[in-house]
Structure 1
Amino acid sequence: DEVDSTLIDEARTPLIISGMAHDDQPRYQIADSLAKHLVDAQQPWQQMEDDVQHCKELIQGLEGDIRQTRDKGTIPELQKRLGEAKKKLPELEHQRDQHVQYYELEMDRKSAHLTHEGIAEAQRVAGIGSFYVDENMDLPHLLEQALRARAVYTRDKDYIVMDIPDRMTGKPEPSIVIVDTNTGRPMIGRQWSDGLHQAIECKEQVAVKPETQTVASVTVQNFFKMYKQLSGMTGTADTEAQEFHDIYRLDVVAIPTNKPIARNDHDDLMFLREKDKWEAIVDEIKAFHDVGRPILVGTTSVEKSEMIARMLTQKYQIQHSVLNAKQHEKEAGVVEDAGQLGAVMIATNMAGRGTDIKLGRFTREQYVEHLLKRGMASRGLSVDMSDEQLRENVYRKIAPTELKAQGVKKREAEEMDFAELELMLLRHWAEGTTWLSPKGIAASSAEELREELDKNGRCKLHRIQWFENVEALGGLHVIGTERHESRRIDNQLRGRSGRQGDNGSSRFFVSLEDDLMKMFAGETTMKLLARLGMKEGDAIEHPWLSKNVERAQKKVEERNFQIRKNILEYDEVMEHQRQRFYGLRQRVLEGRSVKDLIFEYIEDVVDDGIGEYLDSDYPALCAAEYAKQKLDCSILPDRLKGKDADSMETTIRRLAKEDVAAVIGVTLGEYMPVEGSEVAVSFDSAGLHQWAKNRFGVELDTGSLREGGAKERIAVQNMLEEAAFQKIDETELGEIGSFAKSTYGAEQLSKWIKRKFTFDVTADEIIAADRDPDRLVRDLVIEEARARYRVRECEFPADYIMQMTMMMARQDPAGAFEHLGKWAKDRLGIELDAETIKSTPPSKMREMIIEKMGEQLDNDTLTKTIDEAVAIENDDELDGFLAERYGKGITERMRYLDEADRADAIHARVETLHRPELIQFEQMVLIETLDSSWKDHLYIMDQLRDSIGFRAIAQTDPKIEYKREGQRMFLTMMKEIRERVTDLVFKARLAPPQQQAPRPAPQRPQQRPQGVPAGNIMGSSIMGPGFSVGGNPPARPAQTPKPNGEGAGS
């Protein structure tokens, strides 16, 4: 249902599952205080900019008045005012330019950008030096998010502040809740990403939640493409038929309505100023409410719904209901009564609520009560009167108010001939709401005037009678307070009225200050209105204007379609990566050939290690890294390649001095002005003093620095360079000699193998294999790895079951021996009675188990059992075969698999039963590593997605660059996964679950500790290097080998 809401509206935002992002707390408070300062500081500029825009609108309006006026005598006065306005405009622009603009806003993109002056001012106020060096690099991003929170996102429109129960304590706490722009409902539990949510929390002074990070994401389009069949229904899909076809390959079929639509959709009513629009809306609500018609007012935000509610109460004391994100729990009750006599409902985006408003019935007594309550009839009105008497009673009551401009008093209205009074009222209403000219109105009869008023639909008093139901009154009247970005949403709002052939009407009120009009229709519409001679306070209603507004909506729809298409195109990269990653993860979860996967990783890692350590450039690379650590400078490895120890040290010191001199020259430009530079920088003596002291230990005499001119700049630069050069010359570089040795690469490879795989391959063996044309270093290492893993396959289950038995024996020796005997029978096919187990020393028992495990590996029992099981076609026979062999049969799911999937499932089941301890260990290592690496990868891809647009400046296609960079990052992630997995499989072990004494059951269910990996059926945990107590791998792997044997796993 409402398929366009899901497949189109929601498709602009990817579906995201998020988790915690950082251990540290970013500096949101600093960013918020800086943003508040900049917003306040920009007020003078913003006020002048508003005056400039107002003057431009006045000029266009006066030009239109001069063209359109019929009274030629007013033209000189208009021309005088136009000349004054044109003369005033340059002055206003000059005054505006005297003030500083610190940031720019793009309201249609909901973004804010700091100008150069804004960055300089923020740096000055913060007092922590440049935002673009060292530990301050996070502040520009945080500050832009804080600016968006302060200047772009509005409370009670984009979000509300409401009490939400805390997840841990259950105590209600003030929280930021996002409001769905399409439905108006609060989206509890959702957060904006990238620090924006936290910036808004700082702005509203509520508790700042930890920043979230994407752990899984998919676009709506790609999510629904995974279904074999898609279908849906909605009343407003036709305008998006092209997108349904292009994206989802779905055709839109229009089904005729059950009954013809009787609703009257009036043209938009347009105003120059928003305040005039709101006054007109309240007047229209009053006019329809007085007669008794129910009214639905659709607003675009919580803030505006509450504002119009206040206006109704203050100006006309009209009772009404409000339905927005704050009252969404009352939705059913409010909607139920919305079609009753005189009901007024103000709803935020009623469009998305998918509800039918049923029109009510009422008695004469109820109608009389309503008219008396609204002051529309005198106390003499009774239910026995005829329609004519009712009309006369009402007209005589309202005439003094309606005809106040004509000077009709209360007594005069009571005594005047009714036919004359009725004609005066009809002419008055026709003058205000029809297209008739004054002459046409004067020449028309009462019945002709009624027919004209019927066409317009803005008045019902001319047809007042004893109505029996709301349908006869004209049905539900819908008022749209502004146009939505999408025509579909407007159509849905209109569609609340006139259901199932009922009567109804709708009208939208628009002003040039509405968000949509400001962004997409301002200039064009202003020219049109100028030609029509429109000025402040006027309202214009014309089909041209409605079409102009629809053109603006089409622009937004086209932009939104491009956004959705863009998201989909960018997501193609992630879609391929998701398919590959989740396919690999599913293989691990099912236990299919997990050992083979690990050895694929071992072979790839060995190839990478040999390629890196035995590369001729490796010693120079390590020397450059060593120089960076010791001297904090960047040196190209090519400049150190092939040098002996002495010349390498000399080169490093010389290049370090060149590098630090360049850094000093660039950074001084942040604090001292440079003559001839395009970027103006104010002299910051305090910041310069702090930087010189922290970086170089130099105390500058800021009192002697007056203007920061060229002479002073050169003096400071020379002083800093002298201090830096002295520090470089004094630094000890004693380890440089090791990088010049010819055997350095082989020695480091030998250390890496020992550290990573826990076995020895000497540097001499590596050098010999490298020189031997018939043998590869790779084969030497992998053969040893397979041999070592074979030992692990024998020892790992033996160690595990012996530890388990000894732990159980402390509480139940007989049960422990029975468990060991059953395990030996199922796993090894040998009989062990309790007496044998009891009399055999644990060390001997362990050796016997290892020996039997070795025999199974030598006989390739696993492969033979898999072949036998796959050959069995009947599920019951297969179940009996496995139960006899391992004590457990097939799972229920395996009975319903397709033939294509059955063999893989049997393979996984046999492997899981044959080597459960080791396969569970392998699965835990792989799943934990895959999941944490994927989370890190998604974060990096998010950062890439945000910044890739700047590649267009270099004349490259951002989408192509994103695909190229994304693929490179994915390959890097897979390499890190291989590194981490191979780091752990030879070192970590699976610890048996701790046995505990029986205890009473807890009164409430206990949450699983965060450290215990999900899916661990045996309750075990991984222990060993690289894992924390709970079994989680480290957050980040070491990525590059360090000189002198330091690196991953050290």
Structure 2
Amino acid sequence: IEWDEPMDYQRKLFYSERQRVLEGTGIRETVMRVLRDSVEANVERFASSEYPAKCISEWCRSNLDIPIEPDRIRGDDIEEIQESIRRRAISESREQITTSLGEYIIEDAPPEEWDVRGLSEWAQRTFNVNVTQNQLRKMDPAEISDWLTDSAQKHFESVELDGIAPYLEDSYPRAMLAEWSRSTFGIELASDELKDKSAGEMVETIMNRLTETYEKREVTYPVEIAMERSGLGVEGADSAYAAQALANWSNAKFRTNRSPADFQGKSPKAIYDDLVAVNREFTTNGKLEHEIDEAVNGKSEDEVIEWAKARFGPGWNEKRFHSSDGELRERLLEEGREMLRYELSRMEQVVLLRIHDQCWKDHLLEMDHLKTAIMQRPMGGDQTHPQSQYAIEGREYFDEMWSRIRERVVDVILKVRMGGGPQQAPSAPIATTTTSPGPEVQTPQFKTTHADATNTAFAGADADQRAAMKAQGSDGKPDTIRREQPKVGRNDPCPCGSGKKYKQCHGRK
């Protein structure tokens, strides 16, 4: 095997996936696949028999500053587990004391050169004991070691361990899975809904609710963006232009034959409810199917395609249409549905590209470091050939990259929106009809008004985002990405469901 073979293989896989996103084919399917993968992975994590032990292990690390491996935490009797933790903590503290003393005390050096202040602070922080610097200077290293060992034993024999009790409750994993669903997807799911269900049944329960949430977003998101871009209700915005822009958008997307007068004088909520209801008629109540059936009836395939191009505007994707299997009607329905959710697909496309590209760049750097490290390893014994080792470890890195992509997509895809505020009214009159499914679309330049849940999902990749939008043939003023959910506080539970505080988990810097 050659050095470049692993990367050639990885490039083919990565860029084949990226190309599908760049071409705008299967955006919805990609998002739903990523969401399902995340749900399956987290159901497996929370439903695992090892999950309570992992939570207890993390609690010990955070509260006792003692590492205890999860596999050393066995059983479900709280008193037995607490006793096991005490024994393990006392044992670990002996090793910790031996290691830490060397950081503060040099045996051959006089006491005046010891870092007794640092040692005193460490002892107080770790074992909750108070000792003065003068007291430490009066003891030799062996006496200090014995004193710390005795203090550690007294501390861990009396330390309060009731904090592990919630992790041993049967309902805790389900409650944390429900909390993860709420914080990640905005799904309010009672833990009782997951009671007595297998892992597969829990996946389907969450996916059913998640699909409902996503389908609702497909209906409401385009309306929200159209209203925001029109400037309706914004102080200082031209109300006549806003009404005209909404009329154009509604007429192009829904063939509603609206005029600006239909929007003037109405509250934003009334307009929103009206347009959402119209969109729902097309997306769920069969109006799109009826329109396509009328268009197909009595026409040749070429005539129907020309009609579809004009009807669906920027929502029409030539490559997607001709590469799809199925009858003409089904392919037209697919294009029609994409036209109805065009604003959402466009936002999702940019999010996917930015996350994919940033994770790929990080992966390339990791692979460079891995190659350098392997080339510096000594040969001999039964060590695997360097190139083979590079391929093996590189595959693990590649799998981790896809996991990071999944986590970052899930972290933001249902929480962000693309909007640039109202567009300025043009000096020339606006035509009352248009062939596009909405107001002139602007090239999105993403910003986050709040950090996403892990502060990692949008990192750079502006050039890749512009390339993605160039493929759609759009340009103009940058838009803004906004979060629809509040920022996670540093002392709040981490949304990942680990049981840790955010600052001790994904918020750690």
TM-score, normalized by the shorter chain, greater than 0.5: yes
Partner of 2:249: 823
Residues in 2 aligned to 1:813 and 1:701: alpha-carbon distance in whole angstroms: 78
Are the equivalent residues in 2 in contact too, given 1:617–1:641 (CA < 8 A)? no
RMSD: 4.2
Sort the Cα spacing of 1:865 and 1:573 in 2 relative to 1 into closer, same or farther, 3 A: farther
Shift of 1:951: 7.6
Matched, 1:1021 2:486: no
Matched, 1:778 2:203: yes
Instruction: Say if 2:106 and 2:114, in contact at 8 Å, map to a contact too.
Output: no
> Is structure 2 residue 50 aligned with structure 1 residue 625?
no
**Is 1:743 the equivalent of 2:171?**
yes
Partner of 1:963: 391
What are structure 2's unaligned runs of at least 5 residues? 125-130, 326-330, 428-443, 448-459, 470-474, 488-493
Secondary structure in structure 2 of the residue aligned to 1:643: coil
Q: 1:591 to 1:890 in 2, by over 3 A?
A: closer
The residue number in structure 1 matching 2:418 is 990
Taking only the aligned residue pairs, the percentage that are identical comes to 25
Match of 1:795 among 215, 220, 231: 220
Say which of 769, 787, 794 aligns to 2:197. Answer: 769
Instruction: Encode CA deviations 1:715-772: one digit per residue, 9 max, x unaligned.
Output: 332233234445545644332111121221111111111111111221111013339x
- Do the aligned partners of residues 966 and 1039 (structure 1) sit closer, same or farther apart at CA in structure 2, a change above 3 Å counting? farther
2: distance between equivalents of 1:967 and 1:819? 51
Q: How does the TM-score come out when normalised to structure 2?
A: 0.73
Q: Contact conserved, 2:61 with 2:68, CA < 8 A, in 1?
A: yes
Residues 746 and 766 of structure 1 are in contact (CA less than 8 Å); yes or no, is this contact kept in structure 2? yes
**Aligned residue for 2:82?**
649
In structure 2, C-alpha distance between the alignment counterparts of 1:613 and 1:1045, rounded to whole Å: 17
Matches within 5 A, 1:68-467: none
> For each residue in 1:808-854, what CA deviation from the matched residue of structure 2 results, as whole angstroms up to 9, or x when unmatched?
87433332222211211221221111222225443232222212222
Change (3 A) 1:1023 1:959: same
Q: Specify which structure has the higher proportion of strand.
A: 1
State the shift of 1:953 in Å.
6.5
Match of 2:323 among 881, 884, 903: 903
The AA in structure 1 aligned to 2:119 is A
Q: How many Å separate the matches in 1 of 2:304 and 2:273?
A: 35
| SS of the residue 1:761 aligns to | coil
Structure 1 counterpart SS, 2:366 = helix
Kindly indicate whether the alpha-carbon contact (under 8 Å) linking 2:66 and 2:92 is maintained by their aligned counterparts in 1. Answer: yes
Hey, what does 2:367 align to over in structure 1? 941
Partner of 1:658: 91
1:627 Cα deviation (Å)? 0.4
Q: Which of 492, 498, 503 is 1:1042 aligned to?
A: 498
Query: Conserved in 1, the CA contact under 8 Å of 2:183 and 2:495?
Result: no
C-alpha deviation, 1:599, in angstroms? 0.7
Change (3 A) 1:866 1:702: farther
AA paired with 2:250?
Answer: A
Bigger RCO (CA 8 Å, 6+ sep): 2
> What letter is aligned with 1:719?
W
* 2:440 equivalent in structure 1: none
Q: Is the 8 A contact 1:983 1:1049 kept in 2?
A: no
Tell me the distance in 1 between the aligned counterparts of 2:344 and 2:445.
23
Q: Give the direction of change, closer, same or farther, for the CA distance of 1:683–1:635 in structure 2 (3 Å limit).
A: same
Give, as a single letter, the amino acid of the residue that structure 1 aligns with 2:279: M
Deviation (angstroms), 1:616: 1.2
- CA distance in structure 2 between the aligned counterparts of 1:866 and 1:953, rounded to whole angstroms: 70
C-alpha spacing 1:811/1:660, structure 2 compared with 1 (3 Å): same
Q: CA, structure 1 residues 824+687, in 2 after alignment: closer, same or farther (shift >3 Å)?
A: farther
Does the CA-based 8 Å contact 1:991-1:1022 persist in structure 2?
Answer: yes
Q: Deviations over 1:984-1040 (max 9, x none)?
A: 2222222333546999xxxxxxxx989595436463221116899xxxxxxxxx896
CA contact (8 A) 1:881 1:889 kept: no
Gaps of 5+ in 1: 1-567, 675-681, 706-711, 1000-1007, 1029-1037
Residue matched to 1:850:
276
The superposition leaves residues 523-568 of structure 1 with CA deviations (integer Å, 9 ceiling, x where unpaired) of xxxxxxxxxxxxxxxxxxxxxxxxxxxxxxxxxxxxxxxxxxxxx9
Whether 2:119 is the aligned partner of 1:692: answer: yes
Map Cα deviations across residues 42-78 of structure 1 (whole Å, 9 max, x no partner). xxxxxxxxxxxxxxxxxxxxxxxxxxxxxxxxxxxxx
Q: How does 1:576-591 map to 2 (within 5 A)?
A: 576-591=9-24
C-alpha distance in 2 between matches for 1:890 and 1:770: 42
CA distance in 1, matches of 2:9, 2:134: 56
CA contact (8 A) 1:808 1:995 kept: no
* TM-score of the superposed pair, with normalisation by structure 1: 0.38
SS at match of 1:595: helix
- 1:756 equivalenced with 2:210 (yes/no): no
> Is the contact made by 2:58 and 2:500 (CA closer than 8 Å) also made in structure 1?
no
- Work out which of the two has the higher radius of gyration on C-alpha atoms and give 1 or 2: 1
Structure 1 residues 739 and 795, CA gap change in structure 2 (3 angstroms): same
- Once the two structures are superposed, residues 339-379 of structure 1 have per-residue CA deviations (whole angstroms, 9 ceiling, x without a partner) of xxxxxxxxxxxxxxxxxxxxxxxxxxxxxxxxxxxxxxxxx
**Conserved? CA contact 2:315–2:342, under 8 Å:** no
The residue that corresponds to 1:294 in the other structure is none
| Aligned with 2:36 (options 571, 594, 603) | 603
**Which AA in structure 1 matches 2:230?**
T
**Secondary structure of the structure 2 residue equivalent to 1:1022:** strand
**Cα distance in 2 for residues equivalent to 1:673 and 1:954:** 38
For residues 461-510 of structure 1, the C-alpha deviation after alignment (integer angstroms, 9 at most, x for no partner) is xxxxxxxxxxxxxxxxxxxxxxxxxxxxxxxxxxxxxxxxxxxxxxxxxx
CA deviations over 1:928-982 (Å, ceiling 9, x no partner): 3223323333343334333335385774214333322222222222122222212
Of 312, 318, 333, the match for 1:886: 312
SS in 1 for 2:75: coil
Shift of 1:803: 2.4
Distance 1:889 1:965, change over 3 A: closer
Cα displacement string for residues 631-655 of structure 1 (whole angstroms, at most 9, x for unaligned residues): 1111121222323222222222221
Please give the alpha-carbon distance, in whole angstroms, between the structure 1 residues aligned to 2:163 and 2:300: 65
Distance 1:729 1:659, change over 3 A: same
Q: 2:403 corresponds to which residue? A: 975
Distance 1:580 1:627, change over 3 A: same
